[in-house]
Amino acid sequence: MTAGSLAGPSLPVVGGKVLLTALREADIDRVVEACTTPEAERWLETPVPYRREDAESFVREFAPAGWRGEHDERVWAIRESLGGPLAGVIGLREGSREVGFWLHPAAQGRGLMADAVRTAVGHADGCLTWPEVRWACYDGNVASMRVARAAGFHYLGTRAGLHRGVPELQHHAVRPAHGEPADALPWPDLG
């Protein structure tokens, strides 16, 4: 399979620090590296243990299927340059109007994800005309909370959720296309 045969966005979405592009065959190894860390196993909704076959299916089947309209999630690769390695992945789910994301360990700590989230949310505001984009994470995922706050999301509090079949508290936030939600709360202390 060649990179040209994977369905995805035909043009990159340009942010301040990142480009959002289609996933490529060459990204598979980086997906495996990112999704086999203890942090990924703790916070993401990926299979555990995560195997190379999972990454191949994600890059070759799941991501392109979303761009073909076979499910409601559009997934972009996050890169620092058009030909650069995969820094991470970000997706927008149309049904829930929610953003989800992860970064490769080598790309963390440089503000790339906050820029990627602002870029994807701007795409949702401008191209998809969503009235808002939602975000959620499990309690304790301070890195994800910092990204959402830096990307301009308004904190809405916590509620019960399920993670891998186990009850777990979730933090929720929203970024409206216009204004601030009336029920916004102060962000918790994120250290």
The whole-model pTM stands at 0.92
pLDDT, tens digit (0-9, with 9 covering 90-100), for 21-77? 999 999 999 999 999 999 999 999 999 999 999 999 999 999 999 999 999 999 999
Coil, strand or helix at 60: helix
What is the token pair recorded at 144?
A: 């994800």
Give SS3 for 5.
Answer: helix
Contacts of 115 (CB under 8 A, 6+ apart): 15, 16, 17, 18
Q: What is the pLDDT of residues 89-133, one digit of tens each?
A: 999 999 899 999 999 999 999 999 999 999 998 877 666 678 899
Supply the pLDDT for residue 111. Answer: 95
